[in-house]
Structure 1
Amino acid sequence: MSDRAPQPVARRLPSDEARDLLVLVRELAEREIAPRAAEEEAAGRFPRELFTLLSGTGLLALPYDSAYGGGDQPYEVYLQMLEELAAARLTVGLGVSVHTLSCHALAHFGTEEQRAAHLPAMLGGGLLGAYCLSEPSSGSDAAALRTRAERDGGDWVLDGTKAWITHGGVADFYTVLARTGGPGPRGITAFLVPGDAPGLSAAAPERKMGMKGSPTAQVHLDGVRVPDARRIGEEGQGFTIALAALDSGRLGIAACAIGVAQAALDEAVAYARERRQFGRPIADFQGLRFLLADMATRIAAGRALYLEAARLRDAGLPFAREAAMAKLSCSDTAMQVTTDAVQVLGGYGYTADFPVERLMREAKVLQIVEGTNQIQRMVIARHVVGPESR
């Protein structure tokens, strides 16, 4: 509905280059992504060409080392880019976040030879990644995964099923966590699996409440053979690798959540200025003004929280607690703000003629992915109070 005028928010940008980059991202989002978002989401169409475009412009590689085709940008800048993309279309913003998550294991735990062999194509070669941790019987309890990898000479043979995989069936590579040892977190190892590996297949995409343009599917591994050169890290190090990636991934979800919330607020403000009741715009009524003020305040607080966590990460400081706080707060904010936006638009907000109903449906998943918000509270409490007594 609105042209989404730039919002006057406080952002400490590290450089003029970063400022120019974010202006470019917003222009690209407004020109290439937002105009077709509602139509394509309604049709359930996956915009692969947009990811190819983002890869060609270097936007799939921002937080990684330029030696491997990355953009050398701090996470603070990368997350603000995600916010802009998610505000235009969550399928794209979340898709970039998942791709970045899928590259994390190799970029941070791979050998020099592995990074040189694979990262340039993963970051800037038009490829798209997927992250395979969850399974039908292990979601929040990720350490209980059952997918197995057995040694066979110089190879590993993978068997099992992964669930809730964003880009399942369309990804060019999968970062897969599989069990190579006994039960528990110490028996898990990470692998980089090509999307066209024999024995790898995807089920039909899930039928979802929102984000219908983003395929989410089970991924089946039936005797998938992977050379040991595609094992990432040491045997048994996989769970540590997975948790490290998820700390960063939670910040991506937080940024996407604020993008969705900001888009909903923009729509609500534009509508409130135009809609007239009792002879004047409804934006003049104090009850509505207070509601919009609360929405704006929640968004600003969430944005500040994810940016502060990003700055800790960029400084090489611990940030797991802040990442969990940001994911929790920002996704709850997205759900609240989109719900309030529907209320501002009244009956029109409940129709598909206006984008706020889609934004409300999309916001819900952000409270679930990358660790449910109940898991985030457990993580935060562990940092604040200490581990639970047994």
Structure 2
Amino acid sequence: MHTGFYDEIHEEFREVVREFVTREVTPHYKQWDAAHMMPRALWEAAAENGLLGLAVPEEHGGMGLADYRFRMIIDEELARADALGAALAFHLHDDWVLPALLQFATEEQKQSWLPRFMDGSFVSSVGFTEPGAGSDLRGVRTKATKNDDGSWTLNGQKTFIGNGISGDGALVLARTDGSDVKQRGGATSFSLFLVTKEGNPGYTPGNQLEKMGLKASDTAELFFSDVQIPAANLIGEEGRGLEYVKAILPQGRLAVAAAAVVVAETVLDQTLDYVTQRNAFGERIADFQNTRFQLADLQTGLEAAQRYLAAQVEGFNAGQLDLAGASKAKLHASEFAKKCVDICLQLHGGYGYILEYPVAQAYLAVRLLTIFGGTSEILKETIAQELLAGSAPNSR
């Protein structure tokens, strides 16, 4: 990020993260990538270094690091180590599931769950997407039926679930109003649950889904067959699930925007090193006009993305980031990162197509960022709705 974005305390935190990545991630990441799975030992080591649940308040045993710059430092150091799969796994845990607990869980739920989010004993997943319901969550068919004692019985299926195999549970959006699962639900048709795998034989992860990139982060389907959910695992109030999902979307989309800017910055730095060392026709690749013009465009675009992201992070830290602002940040950053990595791969020539080179891995990974957390098309709809609402008669 640009000069002045981080303070001294952030750089001190960076040293902790960098040492953790060097010791616990870099020596093993290629093995995890090949195995399509990261071990629980990684989560335990991250917990020992204070890298999980950064925003958990001090009264619940956390450090209360709600300043999003700390989360970005973790991304930056993992990206520099070409370990983006680990960054994604941590994002799901800290930027999607944890915010729901911090905002909507009861004090009893926080006392029960937050320590486990910090100590690595509970790795979480986000169970929103289904085979027939991606961006349109009102199409969710997974159904939770309330039992006489206030508990719930869950049946359904989720897909594209990060940490789906390795995780211990998921934040699940389910239909709870008894409506026909073949129809789109209403605004109050859904509720959120924290569903645990332990003690629930009907909670079954499917096979590992073969992805283009980010393979170290396992992704799978989840199947729920008469899974029993205690009443205490309902997050917030019944019927407000969609409202809660909308409330956590700004941080989730900010997380993707931050990851996109980090990837673009890292790959551009790697490409600068490559073109200044590689020769063709007796000249450095960096000395060809096409290369210089491409690099100039990318650096300008990167700085614009960094500045815009910095403004949104500042808004988040002040409690002022809304869904439209986060959508703009994700749209711009993810689309720029996709363009940047594509051009950088081209500047690598044939080596850019070899998976041993980080730019090839980044090319496969960055393609997810315009899809995950809301496709670019959905983001444009969100932004347009805000724009048109502001231009409607009597709206000013």
TM over 0.5: yes
Cα distance between partner residues in 1 of 2:315 and 2:170: 28
Cα distance between partner residues in 2 of 1:308 and 1:47: 36
1:155 aligns with 2:137: no
The correspondence of residues 128-277 of structure 1 with structure 2, limited to 5 A, is 128-152=123-147, 153-181=149-177, 182=179, 183-196=185-198, 197-277=200-280
Asked whether the 8 Å contact 1:192–1:232 carries over to 2, the reply is yes
Q: Could you tell me which amino acid in structure 2 is paired with residue 112 of structure 1?
A: E
Q: Could you tell me which amino acid in structure 2 is paired with residue 328 of structure 1?
A: L
Residue 26 of structure 1 corresponds to which residue in structure 2? 18
More deviation, 353-362/302-311? 302-311
Structure 1 residues 327 and 384: CA distance shift in structure 2, 3 A: same
Asked whether the 8 Å contact 2:37–2:166 carries over to 1, the reply is no
Asked whether the 8 Å contact 1:150–1:180 carries over to 2, the reply is yes
Asked whether the 8 Å contact 1:275–1:282 carries over to 2, the reply is yes
Structure 1 residues 36 and 267: CA distance shift in structure 2, 3 A: farther
C-alpha RMSD of matched pairs (Å): 2.0
- Runs of at least 5 residues in structure 2 that lack an aligned partner in the other structure: 180-184
Structure 1 residues 340 and 310: CA distance shift in structure 2, 3 A: same
Where 2:366 maps in the other structure, the secondary structure is helix
Asked whether the 8 Å contact 2:197–2:203 carries over to 1, the reply is yes
Report the alpha carbon displacement of residue 47 of structure 1 after superposing the two structures with TM.
4.5
Runs of 4+ off more than 4 Å:
none
Structure 1 residues 11 and 194: CA distance shift in structure 2, 3 A: farther
1:340-387 Cα distance to aligned partner (Å, 9 max, x none):
111111011111231211110111011100011111111111112229
Where 1:159 maps in the other structure, the secondary structure is strand
The correspondence of residues 16-55 of structure 1 with structure 2, limited to 5 A, is 16-38=8-30, 40-55=32-47
1:77 aligns with 2:70: yes
Cα distance between partner residues in 1 of 2:58 and 2:22: 27
1:308-364 Cα distance to aligned partner (Å, 9 max, x none):
212112112243222111111111122111111111110111112312111101110
Where 2:389 maps in the other structure, the secondary structure is coil
Asked whether the 8 Å contact 1:51–1:92 carries over to 2, the reply is no
Report the alpha carbon displacement of residue 40 of structure 1 after superposing the two structures with TM.
3.7
Where 2:87 maps in the other structure, the secondary structure is helix
Q: Could you tell me which amino acid in structure 1 is paired with residue 117 of structure 2?
A: M
Instruction: Report sequence identity in percent.
Output: 34
Match of 1:329 among 327, 332, 356: 332
Structure 1 residues 173 and 44: CA distance shift in structure 2, 3 A: closer
Asked whether the 8 Å contact 1:132–1:165 carries over to 2, the reply is yes
1:111 aligns with 2:113: no
1:118-169 Cα distance to aligned partner (Å, 9 max, x none):
1111123442110111111000101221111111122101000011110112
Cα distance between partner residues in 2 of 1:263 and 1:49: 27
1:259-302 Cα distance to aligned partner (Å, 9 max, x none):
22222112211111110123232112232122122222222222
Cα distance between partner residues in 2 of 1:292 and 1:54: 36
More deviation, 96-105/73-82? 73-82
Residue 182 of structure 2 corresponds to which residue in structure 1? none
More deviation, 276-285/165-174? 276-285
- Runs of at least 5 residues in structure 1 that lack an aligned partner in the other structure: 1-7
TM-score when normalising by structure 1: 0.92
Cα distance between partner residues in 2 of 1:330 and 1:34: 26
Q: Could you tell me which amino acid in structure 2 is paired with residue 157 of structure 1?
A: T
Asked whether the 8 Å contact 1:175–1:192 carries over to 2, the reply is yes
Cα distance between partner residues in 2 of 1:295 and 1:33: 29
